[in-house]
Amino acid sequence: MNTEKAFDEFVKYAKESFIGVWPNLSEKEVEDYFGKAKKYLRSRFESDLEKFKKGEINERQLIEGGGNSAGWCMGYCYDDPMDE
């Protein structure tokens, strides 16, 4: 498995889940937020990658499940500027 390609797919699923929580955000707002969350996303991916390497989860669970989970978490942690 190409880990960088897997990480890109992981982020794709995270964005899809995040947008599910915040469908009215512009593409720029989503990209800005994800730009700030690179460390978080990488950390979540690396944690799930270790589980994959140990055989605890499969590739689909790593990429789709892990990405979706990270995206939902980010969605619920997002600070809506309209609340100010």
- Residue 82: what pLDDT? 57
- Residue 24: what pLDDT? 93
Token pair belonging to 53: 């390497």
Per-residue pLDDT, averaged over 7-26, amounts to 96
Per-residue pLDDT, averaged over 17-42, amounts to 95
Per-residue pLDDT, averaged over 21-42, amounts to 95
Give the chain's end-to-end CA distance (angstroms, integer): 44
Tens digit of pLDDT for each residue in 46-65? 999 999 999 999 999 999 99
d(CA 74, CA 6): 19
Tens digit of pLDDT for each residue in 70-84? 999 999 999 765 555
User: Which residue type does 81 have?
Assistant: P
